[in-house]
Structure 1
Amino acid sequence: MTQVTAYRAAIINCLADPNQVGLDGSYDYYEDGVLVVTDGHISDIGSAKEVLARLPVQTQVVEFKDKLLSAGFVDTHIHYPQTEMIASYGEQLLDWLNNYTFPEEGKFSDPEHAKRVARFFLDELLRNGTTTALVFGTVHKASVDAFFTESEQRNMRMIAGKVMMDRNAPDYLLDTPETGYADSKALIERWHNKGRQLYAVTPRFAPTSSEAQLTMAGQLLAEYPDVYLQTHLSENKQEIEWVKSLFPERAGYLDVYDHFGLLGERSVFAHSVHLDQAESERMGETDSIISFCPTSNLFLGSGLLDLPEVEGHGIRVGLGTDVGGGTSFSMLHTISEAYKIQQLQEHKLHPIKALYLATLGGAASLSLDDKIGNLSVGKEADFLVLDLHATPLMDARIANSQHLFEQLFVLMMLGDDRAIAETYIAGHRQYQRERG
């Protein structure tokens, strides 16, 4: 039986990158709008006057007073096993991995532990308005089975993968080139394109994979050309020097991945804050992707991404929270820090551009903009009900706002999980903020 529901509220809908088409053509805004969902997909959108006139009279209309509808947020880099070690004090990247991350990830050899954390992690995403994410598991195959099992139950469009790591880590977290390949292949066969689940081949980063393992990662991409690749790149200067010492025959960090066939249109490289000119050009040539992780880059003291510079090379960019190096599940908080990082480099991040990066831009960076990322007709109905009056301070500041851009800027500067009133997945409400 066909299910049709209309939702009435203000609506903001990103249409394109404002840097490419200009600000005016990059979004639609309906102060009084209606979004129609039919069987989990968007079937109509527009002004209330126009949409209500063409709706069948018996259609259920849900009204949200003083709320703003938006597409769900897309997080292009996050580690679900690091959920319970977020906000670990006082280290930069390599010491942070050894002192906090690796011991925490060791717990995921227990499938019950993985199941519990996956459940909490996905609930936390929904509470923060994130409807799609590119997710690291651990080296344990069971960690990814647990994640996808929980994600499938929520019908969320998720991408995840088992970490491949055969050196320079504790023995309890190592696989081998052969087992990393076999486990990844089995997970691809089980989960990739099952419902809304997608798989990412996941070598943690170059220092923890041997040449033999990186060869196997490239082999998986060749065998399954529609899967993703996720890893880390040029996050930390000490890390870059380590890579040079481990791969002296390669021209640089990116060239390690390039040599093994890991660049391409579904290859997402987290951080990339210290690329040289040749590396930026090569990423643009191969249509590879950067996940910009501002809260993590600041927390771990890694560096500042020059967003206009990398986009100038034709590199697609999405936003990532990078929990647990990142300090919040909230994409709103992530946008806030992204704005400040650009300010430090004398760049501006317009509120529409910021919203684009968190929604349609993230979807485009994951080659999913034909399915998610905005509220255009035909897209999967993953959307948010945003509350611009969620706190007394936001309420006071919104009352003193003169136009839409100012209101969106207040949302991205002052908003957090409290601004997410409801989260919908494929047209079904999966989260509702508690009253009180």
Structure 2
Amino acid sequence: MRYAIRASFFDFTSRVDDVTFASQHARYIEDGLLLINQGKIDALFEWQNRDQSPQWHDYTLYDLRGKLIMPGFIDTHIHFPQIGMVGSWGEQLLEWLEEYTFPAESEYQNTAFAEQMASTFLEQCLENGTTSALIFGSVHPGATEALFAAAEQREMRIIAGKVMMDRFVPEALCEEVSESYQQTKQLIERWHNKGRLHYALTPRFAPTSTPALLSAVSQLKREYPDVWIQTHLSENPQEIAWVNELFPEHHNYLAVYHHYALTGPKSVFAHCLHLEESEWQCLAETESSISFCPTSNLFLGSGLFNLRKAHQHKVNIGMGTDIGAGTSFSILRTLSEAYKVQQLQHYSLTVAEAYYHATLGGAVSLSLDDKIGSFMPGKEADFIVIDFAVTPLQTLRQSRCRDIWERLFVLMTLGDERNIRQTWVNGRCAFQRHEMHA
């Protein structure tokens, strides 16, 4: 349980309040030594300074020179029961839910099937370098149990919750409010803060939630104030118009959630593509976070996220793959799409900002930055070992890079899961790719 790893390292040493200066918080050590003890970071220093900690000789040494190690990726919005429908053709959000999502999620009433898929889902996360995630379950409590059990076995730090919905869904997925409340309460009692596991209250979105259900979610938040809340917000213009019809007493979409006290530091809203100014202000004032999901936003034709606006209001941002509207578990691919989405809005996403949102910034958005997201002493040892070049094109392009920033940008734009050589979780290697590249 005590390891010393020699490699190159990249992380952010402190929270970034203004992403314009993200690079000033970054740390790159070309030849460094990382000490891990009982799943925690002991120290990170230059190889030439290793004798400042003479006890490093007592650690098992792994020599990974030529590889880059960075904190594990953090996925702030992903759907566990949608892995089997990734890449489903056609339709926009509401039609897509009816055509593909609800039938796929109905399969998870079978607990044996859910257990099998939970293992597949988390292995996909690890293969893509994702060590922590905020995860939507299905409406079935047994499926959420299966997900938590699989994550506990792998020692992953995840936040997850059973979806809650009581209208406008197929009968097989529709709950009674009292049933939803009781099942969620039991899941919280069983799994929240158990080891590295946390619970998120998960109303799917306002249209599938009656006022009675939203009141039940609010009651659960009062009873368990340290749980998280995750839901969707302003993904699609048709969806927004529907919310306005269903909740005419509230002046906008976010006001519905805010009325039920579902905003706050541990509330994460996915998408947020078509917000009014007052909604931006509410997110900022309540310290709520946004999950930026560029791949799914493009796939469903939902819109372009205004990252510049989020920065102006100082709203914390994390990256989300949004499997299964998103088409890849890879945060590298997600960052590539994020760059293109911002280019369309004349905002050039910097390399430092991109990787910040994928690592420490994602941890900040989930209120977990005291535990994960960097190599500061005492943090949990969740990290990935990266090959910069695993294809002929990557090899050519990397050979022409002038500095670490250019190398990271090429990794972000040309890279994918094949670049992830190893994924370490809680101080142990949880995934190793067999095809190694020197």
**Common fold by TM > 0.5:** yes
Are residues 1:11 and 2:12 paired?
no
Residue of structure 2 in register with 1:399 after alignment? 399
Give 1:54 deviation, angstroms: 1.9
Residue of structure 2 in register with 1:81 after alignment? 81
Residue of structure 2 in register with 1:144 after alignment? 144
SS at structure 1 position matched to 2:172: helix
Residue of structure 2 in register with 1:321 after alignment? 321
Residue of structure 2 in register with 1:197 after alignment? 197
Residue of structure 1 in register with 2:265 after alignment? 265
Residue 18 of structure 2 aligns with an amino acid whose one-letter code is N
Residue of structure 1 in register with 2:117 after alignment? 117
Residue 89 of structure 1 aligns with an amino acid whose one-letter code is W
More moved, 306-315 vs 135-144: 306-315
Distance 1:24 1:142, change over 3 A: closer
Give the 5 Å matches for 1:24-423. Answer: 24-56=23-55, 57-423=57-423
Give 1:66 deviation, angstroms: 1.2
Q: Is the 8 A contact 2:389 2:419 kept in 1?
A: yes
Whole-angstrom CA distance in 2 between matches of 1:318 and 1:50: 34
Residue 12 of structure 2 aligns with an amino acid whose one-letter code is C
Q: Is the 8 A contact 2:23 2:352 kept in 1?
A: no
Distance 1:424 1:251, change over 3 A: same
1:214-257 CA-to-partner distances (Å, cap 9, x unmatched) read 00001111111110000000000000000001111111100110
Give 1:412 deviation, angstroms: 0.2
Q: Is the 8 A contact 1:230 1:267 kept in 2?
A: yes
Q: Is the 8 A contact 1:18 1:352 kept in 2?
A: no
Residue 235 of structure 1 aligns with an amino acid whose one-letter code is E
Whole-angstrom CA distance in 1 between matches of 2:143 and 2:60: 41
SS at structure 1 position matched to 2:31: strand
Residue 350 of structure 1 aligns with an amino acid whose one-letter code is T
Count of aligned residue pairs for this structure pair? 434
Whole-angstrom CA distance in 1 between matches of 2:362 and 2:141: 27
Unaligned runs of 5+ in 1: none
SS at structure 2 position matched to 1:373: coil
Unaligned runs of 5+ in 2: none
Whole-angstrom CA distance in 1 between matches of 2:16 and 2:328: 25
Q: Is the 8 A contact 1:124 1:329 kept in 2?
A: yes
Distance 1:220 1:96, change over 3 A: same
1:301-355 CA-to-partner distances (Å, cap 9, x unmatched) read 0010110111211211111000000010000000000000110000011111111
Give 1:393 deviation, angstroms: 1.2
Q: Is the 8 A contact 2:19 2:311 kept in 1?
A: no
Whole-angstrom CA distance in 1 between matches of 2:228 and 2:348: 31
Distance 1:49 1:21, change over 3 A: farther
1:163-220 CA-to-partner distances (Å, cap 9, x unmatched) read 0010000000011111111011000000000000000000000000100000000111
Give 1:51 deviation, angstroms: 2.5
1:113-153 CA-to-partner distances (Å, cap 9, x unmatched) read 11011000000000000000000001101110000000000
Give 1:406 deviation, angstroms: 0.3
Q: Is the 8 A contact 2:4 2:62 kept in 1?
A: yes
More moved, 15-24 vs 149-158: 15-24
Whole-angstrom CA distance in 1 between matches of 2:273 and 2:303: 6
The CA RMSD measured in Å over matched residues stands at 1.1
Give 1:21 deviation, angstroms: 7.5
SS at structure 2 position matched to 1:22: helix
Q: Is the 8 A contact 1:18 1:26 kept in 2?
A: no
Q: Is the 8 A contact 1:165 1:208 kept in 2?
A: yes
Give 1:24 deviation, angstroms: 4.7
More moved, 309-318 vs 364-373: 309-318
Distance 1:55 1:389, change over 3 A: farther
SS at structure 1 position matched to 2:388: coil
Residue 307 of structure 2 aligns with an amino acid whose one-letter code is L
Q: Is the 8 A contact 1:18 1:353 kept in 2?
A: no
Give 1:22 deviation, angstroms: 2.1
Whole-angstrom CA distance in 2 between matches of 1:20 and 1:323: 27
More moved, 372-381 vs 22-31: 22-31
Question: Which stretches of structure 1, 4 residues or more, deviate above 4 A after TM superposition?
Answer: none
Whole-angstrom CA distance in 1 between matches of 2:405 and 2:185: 46
Give 1:53 deviation, angstroms: 4.7
- Identical-pair percentage: 50
More moved, 353-362 vs 56-65: 56-65
Q: Is the 8 A contact 1:76 1:318 kept in 2?
A: yes
1:99-120 CA-to-partner distances (Å, cap 9, x unmatched) read 0000000000000011011000
Whole-angstrom CA distance in 1 between matches of 2:293 and 2:219: 28
